[in-house]
Structure 1
Amino acid sequence: MIDLKKLLYHIIFILVITSVGHAQQSLLLWYDKPAAAWTDALPLGNGSLGAMVYGGVQEDHIQFNEETLWSDGPRDYNRKDAYQYLQPIRTLLVEDKQAEAEELAQEHFMGMKSNEVEYPFKKQQWLNKVRSDTVYALPLFNDAKWLVAKVPTRDGWEKEGLAGLDGAVWFRTTFDVSNEFNNEELIINLGKVRDIDYTYINGKLVGVDSGANTVREYHFNSSLLQKGKNTIAVQILNFGDKGGFADKSIKPGYFTIRAAHHPAQKISINNNWKYFIQDRTPPELPAYNASYLAFADVFFKWKLNGPTTAYKRILNLDSALQTVTFTNNNIHYKRTYFISYPQQAMVMHCIADAKKAINLEAVFSTLHPNYTLKKINDTTLGIYLQPVHGALKATAFLSAHAINGNTHVTDSSIVVGNADVVTFYLVAATSFKNYHDISGNPEDSCLRRLSALNRLSYATIKAQHIKDYQSLFNTFSVSFGKPNNLLPTNQRLIQFKNNQDVSLLALYMQYARYLLISSSRKGTQPANLQGIWNDELTPPWGSKYTTNINLEMNYWSAETLNLSSCLQPLFSLINDVSTTGEETARNYYGISNAWVLHHNTDIWRGTVPVNASNHGIWVGGSGWLCLPLWQHFLFTADTAFLRNEAYPIMKKAANFYKHFLVKDSATGWLISSPSNSPENGGLVAGPTMDHQIIRQLYKDCIMAAAILHTDSLFAYSLAQQYKKIAPNQIGKFGQLQEWLQDVDDTANHHRHVSFLWGVYPGSDITPKDSALMQAAKQSLLYRGDSGTGWSLAWKINLWARLKDGEHAFQLVNDLLTPAIQNGKESGGTYNNLFDAHPPFQIDGNFGGAAGIANMLVQSDMNKIELLPALPTKIPHGNVSGICAVSDFKLSFSWKDGSLQQVTVTSLSGLPCRLRYKQYVTDFLTTKNGVYHFDGKLNIL
């Protein structure tokens, strides 16, 4: 007999799971299994809150971030007397004493590190404390209660359950000796260790060393050993980043004891070791910049029985919704996840087609050792934390709202039993207000957001989220043919090169737009090296803002792909560093009423040289960041923005270079010194990239002053100096010179192509400069096609700007190569379509999308060119909502490689020149006018 009630419930369930808009198949990332790794999980974000959803069945894992949770705190980064060393450094460079210049600069011209002054004393105090007790090295010490770890490891103890740990850790193991040694010299090899190790054999210290790249190989006499069981004990002291036995290139001979003169005689110590955390409070390691930090994780532990079938997880780019569906024990389940910008919250909604089928426990977890869990009320659990070496306080609340069933909250978990439906809301905040004010109350912020959520239904929250998101996402569409969506996305990636599933490129473009909307919204921080997603306390390169390519690349596609509003966080950062950079301009260069930024910044807006003098003293960051300001004006024709926001910042940046440039005694040209060509060749005078950036800035400032009818004398002074700046030069190999001197090495395949900045993203070299364009092409050929994710993305844009769509497409192929093959990781793309540097960096996603867009349209103040670098592998397609300079929006299609039709919408009423191959049309427009053309640009 049919259970009508259950049948009705099942029908309602099916209607619900198919009601989230029928998204274009080309806008789905989907997978037939849960994520096994972080780079398999799928991202969600609203600019301030980011999450990675694993989609597990029995245990669902959500790792989340809050944009303002960084290490360190407000501080002064400037070395006050640095300017005294500027001229001595310049003099050493003139005398061709690069090594001496770098040494002097490293000591006196780099920025101040956090905790720099106090650190030596604090470190010695801590060392004395942890070294005072060596009982753990004694053979008879009882380590029965110690935990066990497999040694060696390639990634340190972070991968062995000790993530986020810095401090002192003891490791012990035993080995048997069956034969007696006769006064022989033996060698123990432990591979590389981070940071300091004290290695004992049977209680005797046999070696001490430090340094992450030093292989620990210690010699000792066989008299230390005894027949039978012997003990090795290693105390490892780690101050930051990865700790322990951390050697990615574990080689034969590592973790052995061997006879010095008979290498074949050896004992393996590659086995399970026991470990004990002695102390996890080392002093803060001095750092030039802060790091963006993981916040916490939520684990949903489901009570399910029986087999699971029909599993599918989907990220719908059309609605920014993730779903996980499966059948367990003949019950159909669906979980829906999203992060709402209007409500500033993450939502997880769980339903099933049976009553009382929702049974689970939700718990917080975090890598931060300083945290507290607390019951907030009968539906809400809170986590409070503070970074070990950070001033910020942070709070997150998880709240459960169940239909029927029961909800029980303790100080450690939320348990939901026998519910029909449950919706979880996650909110998070820190005490950050701005880069110099951290007086915010994160608990109050979380309470306000939950209170607002409680007044709305789930349906309303979801509808508001979709409406808000689609107001940005739906402004653009692209198709390169019928999508091959029968395969999971990871399988499409694997087969891309062979099958030429070019529709995957359209998905890749839209995914980049999704990522930008998710990581950069009005009022938030800009997208960092990983957007807004990071699962570590010591992320690669601090997951900060690297301004010699990476931050800028994050926004290369924003204007063209119709996401201009997502630039606001970048403009906010530029405004901040234009303020903090004034102090750096004074302290390091003795220049007032000007600002400078070097190659890195962070949430605290440091602008000083950092890291090492051979690459950290680069003055181009401020000039480069003026380019997106000017381009925003070009694309939007927004004169008010130019007058009130962009030009004042551009003028002060130009004023810095006006006073910074010096005369080269050999040529008489004005050059940039000291600086470098990122991140290649060390500290030099006169790198080509600097001069391209400065010329571009001067040209843009002169034009802006004319448009605004202001600063004619200042503009004149820039024009006069412009003529004297060292020009682009063609070297002896027909290449564009990277430096002032013709010293390029054609065998150098460095990932940076900084000296080609003038071709793209700048316009210091244009097709009118045919000889220079050919030299740039020759340099690009010498540099080669290999590279990490963002490097490949830059080269794609360069080849597109050179109008070589075939070469650009070849590099797109490389960019979409699976990053992990045969257990090895390289540049390319992860299963979730994140870009691999490796590891993950988001700039390749954004830069790759910009490169594909550059194949379709290129524009400047003089013209819009359609399909300038269309590869033969994309013979058919259409695009709608793509943007061009002077506030034009375009829709066009092509077939068999030929343009079919074009629609131009003029939002500002400016004149337009349209070009396609040999066809050119000039026409006047009116504001909001719409104009139609055929494939030969005849007006329709």
Structure 2
Amino acid sequence: MSWIKLYRFFCVFCFIVFIRGNLYGQDLTLWYQHPANTWTEALPVGNGKLGAMVFGGVQADRIQFNESSLWTGGPRNYNQPGAKNYLGEIRKLLSEGKQQAAEELAGRHFMGTKSISDPPEPWLTAVRAIEQQPKNPSQEHFEDKTWREMRVPSRDGWEKEGFQGLDGAVWLRTTFNVPKEWIGRELVVDLGKIRDQDFTYINGKLIGTTHDANQGRLYTIPKDLVKAQNQIAIQVINYDDKGGLVGYKDPSRKLSVFLKENTADESVYLTDTWKYWIQNDEAPRVGKYQESYQPFGDLLLDFGSQAPFSNYKRTLDVEQAICKTSYVQNGVSFERTYFSSAPDACLAIHLTADRPRQISFDASLASPHKTYNVEKVDDSTIRISVQVKQGVLRGVGFLHVRHEGGELHVGDGKIKILGANQATLFLTAATNYKSYNDVSGDAEEIAKSQLNKVKNKSYDVIRLAHIQDYQQYFTKFSLKFEADEASNSLPTDQRIAQFVKSRDPNLLALFVQYGRYLLISSSRSGGLAPNLQGIWNDLLTPPWGSKYTTNINAEMNYWLAENTNLSELQEPLFQMIKELSVVGQETAKTYYDAPGWVLHHNTDLWRGTAPINNPNHGIWVTGGAWLCQHLWEHFLYTQDESFLREQAYPIMKASALFFDHFLVSDPKTGWLISTPSNSPEQGGLVAGPTMDHQLIRQLFRNVASAAVILDIDKEFVQRLSEKSQKIAPNQIGKHGQLQEWLEDIDDPDNKHRHVSHLWAVYPGSEINWQDSPKLMNAAKKSLIFRGDGGTGWSLAWKINLWARFKDAEHAYKMVSRLLSPEEAGGGVYPNLFDAHPPFQIDGNFGGAAGVAEMLLQSHLGSIDILPALPKALYAGAVKGIRARGGFELSYQWQNGLLTHLEVFSHAGGKCSLRYRDKEIQFQTEKGQTYYLDSSLKLNRNSK
């Protein structure tokens, strides 16, 4: 080893040792004793743009990767021309209690526009014509021996069964036998739900057809068709999204055949393996309100060896943002290291062995996209290009290999390494996306430029730069809870499985730091804000399009940014808000003839702001108001007046201008109300949902406060202050609950996952113990009515709410549910990804924020220390937690009691602290640290 390499190694070693010594000895590694079998067992790495999921296989390794700007669709106008002409009539119908009529009218004239679609009839006629052929798949004795097999039902669509992107006409066939006594009697076949349309044949005869993806297929089999052995043939017509026989949500309800007269008391169950043939995979285009985030491809490593292995370990170190796979095979110790570097814009994989000439593998690139190509670039590089189906975006990636010893060959779209001592792979990827209204980028030039930058750098230099870049964010916050024993001696999946029953508080600390790791890995300056799945997605038809749902999910992604000291990482969110405020101006004019800007309940890469999907949940007007709250909170935490003046205030004011125009007087009460709108995501189209009024009132107050600080817009401030007083207030209903709607119609048995009307408790602050205890009790009763169940992100919201209620044990109960193994509702997957289910990253971010909220609150002017500390977290330490006012705190506690406290002032000004019944206020200077004891007495040596 040269002295230069030795010096670099020494620098890396010293840097890592220094960092580790300053993190309170945290438990910062996820680890497993087996490779990942599923995507939600794989481990994520990311640099804000290039994300990957590492499976860590021994014989073969899959690294599935994404580039954050690869989406379907393209720039277009999402707004419905003339929508404002129907606003008055919709409002009138709602005021008259004619909700259904209002929804029908809105459905016809008030929803956004869809992308281009093709008439389905010509294509359907063509694929149905096969039935007229002398030999066709509907026939009883059709020869299907050459057909392949598919698992049925595929409950998440056949996409999850290896048929990515399959839309079109597909034939499925199987047989079933019935008892002798059933022959000659009417039967019923239950085929579950089929997406989207089916033509079902028994023994060559059509017995039913349905075009409804949400309806189960229960078809009568005429008695003259029934034989001892029967043939089912189904032509499945799938136009878009999930396809195939998806069965029922309840897995215990199986596909079956039974006697018609005895209603399934005795059933013959259909086999779970059917033969299939893809007749036509060019389905007509289906118009979409908004677009979907896309996977890019797979980097596949084939090691060939079938030999047994031992000492397997797969890890993700969230302290360094490095993933590793290690094992012993044929007496050789192998190790692979994976990371996605932000400074060098690449995914790096380094392979080593403890004996020379042991590294041999084939590396290849593939993609689930129908249109992709892989080709040789040079003697150490291959290139992949992908084209999104029915979209304007194109992606290009390069895979380059550097090796020491052995041989390297490139051919047939693969890179082959034979007998190397070590090898390093570099993957770069880019698209032609430049902004929401500009797709003129050169994907090939960008990806090639990224590769050229790392070609001549050593692996150690790239790795060190990656660690240093990542650590500048990660090391600003640390968290550790005292544990009875070293629980990290168990693999992470086992810790998750026993979290509820065992004492393992540091799994919770790891979950918090994992949330921070995911945000650092998915939200970087110059990139895009993380979507429903961050920057990780393996499906062409991801759940909910993996978009940005702005009635909580997009916002929840950033709940931990301020309080866990990652404030700088919000730049992509602020850029998205800025873009939405521009696009939302046209939506405000087109739909409401209003100034300012508006955002409804969803957006995508192209910044659609119009209503989508269905009036019963898609016409929700306060998405922009909620996003403005993030701008205001950023100021509260940083005290950055330049940010407030130049970025936040103009956007906040424009949103307030919209609602100043939008609010109308309720004819029954005289209050100003929001109409039409929804209470996400239930109750249908209504007038006056409580959540809207909370958000608008908070926005008006924030804008007024900002204007006072900036000494501008005094008349506008006066107008907003007067209007705020007239907005329909929070109300307590007949069950003692906080009303969700203008009318007192809440159902105490409603267990819906959304708790929208509690926004003013968290993340808002209008309802609190200090100023409105009666409303706080009513809000608490509402949350009790909703119950402790819920999907992952819903549980995360409830952690924060119970923390604000200062009910520590109930908050921890929600924590325990969130950290349970994934089940029908909520929990986490083995890789700690939050489970809706399916995976949504918001629960990771929201859950981490909730733990921080249990440890510190600052929404009422003073900083409340350990406001919701449960017994299970009786001892611990936190370093670098942030509070509003520009303060950063570090403190420890033992036996549930504070021992000491440090406060660093980033902005100067008065600091107000509260711990139990003790309070203190003192003036601070910018850049100074203040030390206090457990009684909040200020140390004379502070500063």
Give me the TM-score of the superposition, normalised by structure 2.
0.94
What's the offset of the Cα at 1:155? Answer: 3.1
User: Match for residue 862 of structure 2?
Assistant: 863
- Residue 469 of structure 1 is matched in structure 2 by 470
SS at match of 2:350: strand
Q: How does 1:576-595 map to 2 (within 5 A)?
A: 576-592=579-595, 594-595=596-597
Alignment of 1:760-909 (within 5 A): 760-766=762-768, 767-820=770-823, 825-860=824-859, 862-909=861-908
Q: Name the CA distance, whole Å, in 1 between partners of 2:191 and 2:101.
A: 36
Amino acid across the alignment from 1:86? L
Q: What is the aligned partner in structure 1 of residue 317 from structure 2? A: 316
**Structure 2 residue 280 is matched with structure 1 residue 288:** no
The alignment status of 1:560 with 2:557, answered yes or no, reads: no
Q: For residues 557-592 of structure 1, what are the alpha-carbon distances to aligned partners after superposition, in whole Å with 9 as ceiling and x for unaligned?
A: 100100001111000100000000000000000112
Q: Partner residue of 2:631?
A: 629
Aligned 8 A contact 1:257 1:269 in 2: no
Letter in 2 for 1:89: I
Does residue 641 (structure 1) correspond to residue 643 (structure 2)? The answer is yes
- How far did 1:230 drift? 4.9
Residue 389 of structure 1 corresponds to: 390
- The offset of 1:826, in angstroms, is 3.1
Letter in 2 for 1:675: S
How far has the Cα of 1:204 moved from its partner?
A: 2.5
Q: Distance in 1 between matches of 2:752 and 2:313?
A: 41
- Per-residue CA deviation, residues 187-213 of structure 1 (Å, 9 max, x unaligned), is 333222111111123332221112122
Q: Provide the rounded CA distance (Å) in 1 between the counterparts of 2:456 and 2:268.
A: 68
Name the CA distance, whole Å, in 1 between partners of 2:176 and 2:796.
Answer: 51
Q: Which moved more, 1:831-840 or 1:407-416?
A: 407-416
8 A contact 1:185–1:261 mirrored in 2: no
Matches of 1:694 and 1:272, distance apart in 2: 54
Query: Matches of residues 255-274 of structure 1 in structure 2 within 5 Å?
Result: 255-256=256-257, 258=259, 269-270=270-271, 272-274=273-275
| 8 Å contact from structure 1 (residues 154, 249) kept in 2 | no
State the shift of 1:813 in Å.
0.9
Structure 1 879/111 Cα, relative in aligned 2: closer, same or farther at 3 Å? same
Cα pair 1:317 1:510 within 8 Å, conserved: yes
Q: What does 1:521-540 align with in structure 2 at a 5 Å threshold? A: 521-540=524-543
Distance change >3 Å, CA 443–CA 513, structure 1 → 2: same
Distance 2:919 2:272 in 1: 72
What is the letter of the counterpart of residue 615 of structure 2?
A: S
Aligned to 1:244: 244
Q: 1:602 aligns with which of 596, 601, 604?
A: 604
Q: What is the rounded CA distance, in whole Å, between the counterparts of 2:306 and 2:262 in structure 1?
A: 61
Does the 8 A contact of 1:137 with 1:233 survive in 2? yes
TM superposition shift of 1:304? 3.0
1:8 is matched with: none
Q: Which residue pairs with 2:487 in the alignment?
A: 484
Deviations 1:627-684 (Å, cap 9, x if unpaired)? Answer: 0100101111111100110000000000000000000111111010111111121111
Task: Work out whether 1:518 is the aligned partner of 2:521.
Answer: yes
1:686 partner SS: coil
Return the letter of the residue paired with 2:708. Answer: A
- 1:25 touches 1:485 (CA, 8 Å); kept in 2? no
Equivalent-residue separation in structure 2 for 1:439 and 1:654 (angstroms): 34
Q: Distance in 1 between matches of 2:863 and 2:805?
A: 16
Distance 1:250 1:503, change over 3 A: closer
Deviation string 1:820-844 (CA, Å, 9 cap, x unpaired) is: 4xxxx43111111111111111111
CA contact 2:82–2:591 (8 Å) conserved in 1: yes
**Displacement of 1:770 after TM fit?**
1.4
AA paired with 1:426?
L
Give the partner amino acid of 2:550: T
Matches within 5 A, 1:354-753: 354-482=355-483, 483-592=486-595, 594-753=596-755
After TM superposition, the structure 1 = structure 2 runs for residues 99-248 of structure 1, keeping only pairs within 5 Å, are 99-115=100-116, 118-119=117-118, 121=119, 123-134=120-131, 135-175=136-176, 184-224=185-225, 230-247=230-247, 248=249
Using the alignment, how far apart are the partners of 1:176 and 1:753 within structure 2? 50
Distance 1:130 1:898, change over 3 A: same
2: CA distance between counterparts of 1:778 and 1:131? 57
Quick check: 313-322 or 248-257, which moved more? Answer: 248-257
Q: Are the equivalent residues in 2 in contact too, given 1:799–1:807 (CA < 8 A)?
A: yes
Counterpart CA distance in 2 for 1:212 and 1:750 is: 23
Cα gap change, 1:581 to 1:461, in 2 (>3 Å): same
1:90-123 CA-to-partner distances (Å, cap 9, x unmatched) read 00011001111111111111111112xx43x2x1
Structure 1 residue 305: Cα displacement: 5.4
* Equivalent pair of 1:258/1:267 in contact (CA under 8 Å): no
* 271-280 vs 884-893, greater mean Cα deviation: 271-280
Secondary structure in 1 matching 2:539 = coil
- CA distance in 1: counterparts of 2:797 and 2:809, whole angstroms: 15
Corresponding letter in the other structure for 1:922: Q
* SS of residue matched to 2:44: strand
Distance 1:184 1:509, change over 3 A: closer
For each residue in 1:213-251, what CA deviation from the matched residue of structure 2 results, as whole angstroms up to 9, or x when unmatched?
222222243434567x65432111101122111114355
What is the aligned partner in structure 2 of residue 75 from structure 1? 76
What is the SS of the residue equivalent to 2:507?
helix
SS of the counterpart of 1:274?
A: strand
Q: 1:271 to 1:253 in 2, by over 3 A?
A: closer
Change (3 A) 1:143 1:487: same
Contact between 2:152 and 2:246, CA under 8 Å: does it hold in 1? no
Rounded to whole Å, the distance in 2 between the matches of 1:130 and 1:828 is 43
Mapped to 2, the partners of 1:145 and 1:790 lie a distance apart of 46
1:179 offset after TM fit, Å? 5.7
Percent of paired sites with the same residue: 50
Give the gaps of 5 or more residues in structure 2. none
Change (3 A) 1:156 1:757: closer
Give the CA deviation at 1:182. Answer: 7.5
Q: Kindly indicate whether the alpha-carbon contact (under 8 Å) linking 1:758 and 1:765 is maintained by their aligned counterparts in 2.
A: yes
How much has 1:509 moved relative to structure 2? 0.9
Report the AA paired with residue 527 of structure 1: P
Counterpart-to-counterpart distance in 1, 2:876 and 2:274: 59
In the superposition, relative to structure 1, how do residues 550 and 413 fare at CA in structure 2: closer, same or farther (>3 Å)? Answer: same
Question: 2: distance between equivalents of 1:608 and 1:113?
Answer: 11
Q: Distance in 2 between matches of 1:441 and 1:764?
A: 48
Offset of residue 43 of structure 1: 0.6
Structure 2 residue matching 1:835: 3-state secondary structure? coil
Q: CA deviation at 1:16?
A: 13
Three-state SS of the structure 1 residue aligned to 2:560 is coil
Alignment root-mean-square deviation, CA: 2.2
Pairwise CA distance, 1:758: 0.6
Q: Could you tell me how far 1:888 is from its partner in structure 2?
A: 1.0
1:939 to 2:938 alignment: yes
The change in CA–CA distance for 1:494 and 1:174 in structure 2 (over 3 A counts) is: closer
2:498 alignment partner, SS class: helix
Letter in 2 for 1:244: G
1:428: Cα distance to partner? 1.0
State the partner residue of 2:27: 26
